[in-house]
Every structure is written in C-alpha cells, then in structure tokens.
Amino acid sequence: MAEEKKNLFDYDEDSIKTLDWQEHIRLRPGMYIGKLGDGSSPDDGIYVLMKEVIDNCIDEHTMGYGKHVDVTMEKGVITVRDYGRGIPLGKVVDVVSKINTGAKYDSKVFQKSVGLNGVGTKAVNALSNYFKVTAFREGKEKTAEFEKGILVKDHKEQKTTEENGTLVTFIPDDSIFKNYHYIHEYMDNQFWNYCYLNAGLVINFNGKKYVSKNGLLDLLQRKTNEDELRYPIIHLKGEDIEVAITHENQYGEEYYSFVNGQFTTQGGTHLAAFREGYVKTIRDFFKKDYDAADIRGSICAAVSVRVQEPVFESQTKTKLGSSVVFEGGPSMKNFIGDFLARDLDLYLHKNPAVAEALKKRIEQNERERKELAGIKKLANERAKKANLHNKKLRDCRFHYNDEATGKDKDKILEKQKETTIFITEGDSASGSITKSRNVETQAVFSLRGKPLNCYGLTKKVVYENEEFNLLQHALNIEDSYEDLRYNNIVIATDADVDGMHIRLLLMTFFLQFFPDLVKNGHVFILETPLFRVRNKQETIYCYDETEKQAAVKKLGSKPEITRFKGLGEISPDEFGRFIGAEMRKEPVMLLPETHIQQVLEYYMGKNTPDRQEFIIDNLKVELDKVEEV
C-alpha cells in the first residue's frame, strides 16, 4: 500500500526547527533592523547596519573613552574605527557572534548607552557578505573574520603598536539588500546628529570632519533658516536633558528627538512629555489657556535625554517606551515638564523680546485656525460626499495598530514602514498600478487633471480646492502629521512634460503646506523605465539613455526597443516589478542650506530671469549630450 501523502497542516516533531543565531537573523532580518529597503529611505537597513556599529563607538565616547571615530566607505566596503577601550581580546568572537553576549548587560560599565540588548553587531555580522572585527587593547590585537555570520578565520592574538579601540569592516549582503545604494545626505545627517549629541566628538568620514561645540543649538541652526525665525533659538541644558526651541513661518510642527544619542524618528514618551510640558509652561507663563495647536504651530524643536537602561518599542530603537528616567526616579512626564517649567519659564522672563515674539506667533496661529474652522467643516462634508475611499482612493488592507506589544509590535512596525500610497495622474496610470500593486500595503490615489499651483497661497486653499482636500484626507494629515496613514508617499507621473509639471505642482503642495513630510523623508518620486530592450531570450528595462545603450550592446543583433511615454503604456504584468521588490524611488530631499520659500519662488513663482537663464543653459547641455549619442 502506498504511503499516505503527508498533510500540509500536520504538526509533529518534524515541524519543530532549531536555527543557528545567524540563520534566524537572516530569515527574519526585519525583527533586528526594521525594513530592508534599497537605501532610498533614511531608516533602510544599510544605514541601520552602519548605525549599529557606530553606536558602540558612541557608547565608548559617552563613557569617556575615545574622542574621535573614523569612518570610510569605498566601493561598498564600510570601515569604522574607534579609539575607545577595545573589546576584551578573549571575547572578540563571542561579542559579534553570540546572542545575549556583551557588556551592555552590565549597567555599571555602560550607564546610559544606546544599545542594551547585545544584538546590534551580531545583526551586522549575519547580514554581511563579509565582516571583520579587530580589537586593539594594551599593545595586543585580536582579529576575527566572518562570512554571512559564519566564522571563517579566527586569528591568533599578536602584538601591535595601534592605539586601543575597535576596527570593524563589513560589506552588506546584496542577496538581502537588493539593488541597494547609499545616499550621502542621509549619512551626512546621521554623522551630524551624533556630533550634536556628543559635544567634542569628532567623526571623520572619507576626509570630511564632523564636530559640534554647541549641541542642539547647532542642530537647529543647521535645520532652520535664520531669515525665517521669529526669534533667536532658545537653548537650554540640564542634567540628562537638553532642548532647543524656535518658531518659523512654515506650517506644521517639526521635532528632532533623541535618547542616549539615538535619533528616535518616531518619538516616544520623551517627545510626548516635551510637547505636553511645553504647552503647559507657555500657558502658565502668559496666564492664558491657549489652544495647544496654536502654541505648537510652526515650532521647530529638538529634545535630547539620557536615560538609564532605556526601553524601546522595537529593536531599531526609533520610539522610546520608557516611562521613567531611571529606576526609582521621576516619570518622564514630570522630569521634562519640571525642567521646562523651571528653565524655559526663567528664560522667557529674562528675554521679554523673545516672549513677545512667541506670543505674536501664537496669536497669529489662533487667528488662522479660527478662519479655517468654518471652511474645514464644509471641506469634511465634501470629502464624505465624494465617497473618497471608493472613487479617489484605492486603499490598502493594512491598518496600523498602536496597541500591539512585543513581537507583534515589531512585525506591525515593520509592515507599517512598507505602507505606500501612489499619487497618479489619470485613469490609465492608476489602473495599471491598481492591478499590479500589493493590496496589503500599497494604495493608489488618482488625480483629476493638473493640481493647482499653490505657491504663495495660504492653507485655506487646501480645504477649498477639492483635489488638495481629498488628498490630505487620504493621507490622514488634516489634524496632525503624526497620524500619517502611509509611510511612503510616492508621486507617480508620466515621463513627459505634463508628468513633470504635475510632479512639480505636487511637490509645491507638500513643501508649501506639509514640509515636515518632506523633511522626515516620506515623499518620493517613482522611477519607471523609459525603455524596454529585448530579444527572444532576454528583456532588459532601462531607466536612461546610458542603460539603453548598454542593453543594446549586450543583446546585439538589433533588439526590439520600446520607448515608454506614459505609465498607462506599461502592462500591469510588467508594472508589478517596478513597484515591487525592484522598485526604484528617489526621495525628495531638502539640504540643510535649502530655503523652501526661495526654492518655490525660483521654480514655481513668476518667470524670473534667473530661471530663464538656468533653462537655456541646461537645454544646451542636454542637446549636446543627444548629439554625442
């Protein structure tokens, strides 16, 4: 009698698997480093790997060892050298290859460090094609080399003249981080943040020196434009806390929050405590019950705290969950609230001109809010009548659950980072994306015609213009940027003049009214192939003329070449790969020196001589390139 076929749902001894540490990390990388990504977002895995290594250097500096860190990147190889105490030589292999091994469990050694769970460098090791660590300690050195987390060479200890410290070299595994590329601006921000939070620390990266003397004051000076500030930056420091505060002319609230030198991009208990404490302090100072939204409107602030054994809501440490500063100490709410009530209140009393400027900003916000109140009500009614979720928005199935805990929380946060909304033009383009998208995490919003050029207009137009009103409802940003429905906002327009114009109009909308979405890395441009080059054996999609020429050379024998002009021309079957794992999207980025209003005036204002000259000069360059081809 033939042996019965095993049931797919049988649960027996064979169902129980035991994975080595590196196998588990490689199988579930999201549990350890968040999303993988391709480098187009600042929280993509390749940046997390670098951060995990540098975090250990920063912890050494925080404990008083090592004043500088050297970082190099050459042809995809990352090298990080610190000058701290160096890993104890007998534990070099264990520290980077055994889970739950490290000095961070001894709070006496690392009082207020970034990493406390002993996983960081193990994840880097497991997710790298090549990983090498060398510890220099008291005239001796010890080296170990790994490939994908597996020890391939364990060097013997030997004498050295090198200074104490640790040297780590790694190459991300391109089978896990597919088509990845580093964006210099993201790394630049990360290095600056390290220096802002560690006065005197010097980071050298490929010949560039990063150092800060004034901490968060330097950060806000770099992030803001002096001409737009309503008053000089308020900079306050206390034991285990530092804040910097100012107000600009733009809409929204902009925060930079840190814990033990870690940039908590999703905030947490410390940021919530700051926002609440700031409102209470301002109300008490002016002895008036201002609306919280009016007090915080247009604020740009940074807050940094040092916490003993911090608890984060996920492995990637982007959101603080700690309710106290240290065991037996004050609550986070009271600690930050009391600091602001004392130091900020004292500052405002000593600087009446700043207090007056702050008051005028609050009262301006109050007037604008009241003017918008009636318009917002009508706009909300129009949005409901437009049947948003059936006509304009094809939503995804995933909805974020903030109440989840533990491993479920990590999985939800990982998936939330994947949530994407494509903003498209016309029915044909939205139809292609809708048919080929991942319905679990990808949504589609369809525009009708070209959006309004909103440069120079007030936020009133967001509610009066139907397209803008429906778009902000789809994104769920009417009341707060924190309620953003999708982590990635991808502008998907045709590769022609009209598509480029629509792209610029949408970017103007975000920069004018929701600049924090751009500054926090949520807005992208979808790149779709311009050409399809194929023969009977192979098809190659090309994103520019150079790639097309390379494809033609590779395939030879006069392959078929198709030029895509619109998204609707690409079949849903083909389109699936361009918005899936191989999706290319470029972030809309603002450099620190970028002045939003100047940029918008240049590109979207009246036809200035400067812009005419720019267009003519660059048109000549492009024509020369075409002639060469």
Q: 594 versus 285: which is more confidently predicted?
A: 285
Nearest to 50 by CA among 192, 191, 255: 191
3-state secondary structure 244-256: EEEECCCCCCEEE
Nearest to 115 by CA among 123, 128, 105: 105
Task: Please provide residue 511's backbone torsions phi and psi, each rounded to the nearest 5 degrees.
Answer: -70, -35
pLDDT single digits (tens) 473-523: 899 888 777 788 999 999 998 877 888 889 999 999 999 899 889 888 899
Show the tokens assigned to 104: 């961070």
229 neighbors 247 (Cβ within 8 angstroms):
yes
Kindly tell me the sign of the dihedral angle through the C-alpha atoms of 464, 466, 468, 472: positive
Range 469-473 average pLDDT? 89
pTM given for the model: 0.79
Which of 136-145, 319-328, 564-573: highest mean pLDDT? 136-145
Torsion angle defined by CA atoms of residues 262, 265, 270 and 275, in that order, rounded to the nearest 10 degrees: 140
pLDDT single digits (tens) 27-45: 888 778 878 888 888 888 9
Range 237-245 average pLDDT? 93
Q: What is the total residue count of the chain?
A: 629
Q: What DSSP designation does 344 have?
A: I
For residue 116, the model assigns a pLDDT of 40
Q: 169 versus 381: which is more confidently predicted?
A: 169
Percent helix, strand and coil across the chain, each to the nearest 5: 45, 20, 35
pLDDT single digits (tens) 588-620: 988 766 777 778 877 787 766 777 777 777 665
pLDDT single digits (tens) 174-229: 999 988 889 998 999 999 999 998 888 999 999 999 999 999 999 999 888 777 78
Listed in sequence order, the residues at least 6 apart from 559 whose beta carbon sits closer than 8 Å to its beta carbon are: 533, 534, 535, 551, 552
d(C-alpha 431, C-alpha 266), whole Å: 33
Q: What does each C-alpha distance from 291 to 83, 154, 276, 294 come to in angstroms? A: 50, 63, 12, 5
520 neighbors 590 (Cβ within 8 angstroms):
no
Confidence class for position 360, pLDDT limits 50, 70, 90: very high
Q: Is the pLDDT of residue 532 over 50?
A: yes
| Helices within 520-579 (DSSP H only) | 545-555, 572-578
Q: Which helix (H) or strand (E) holds 627?
A: helix 609-628
User: How many Cβ atoms are within 10 Å of 629's Cβ, its own excluded?
Assistant: 8
User: How many Cβ atoms are within 10 Å of 623's Cβ, its own excluded?
Assistant: 10
For residue 72, the model assigns a pLDDT of 96
d(C-alpha 423, C-alpha 526), whole Å: 10
Q: Is the pLDDT of residue 172 over 90?
A: yes
Q: Which domains does the chain have, with CATH numbers?
A: 21-210 (3.30.565.10), 216-369 (3.30.230.10), 386-528+565-594 (3.40.50.670), 532-563 (no CATH)
d(C-alpha 170, C-alpha 191), whole Å: 18
Listed in sequence order, the residues at least 6 apart from 201 whose beta carbon sits closer than 8 Å to its beta carbon are: 58, 61, 67, 68, 69, 194, 195, 211, 212
Query: If DSSP codes are grouped into helix, strand and coil, which group holds residue 493?
Result: coil
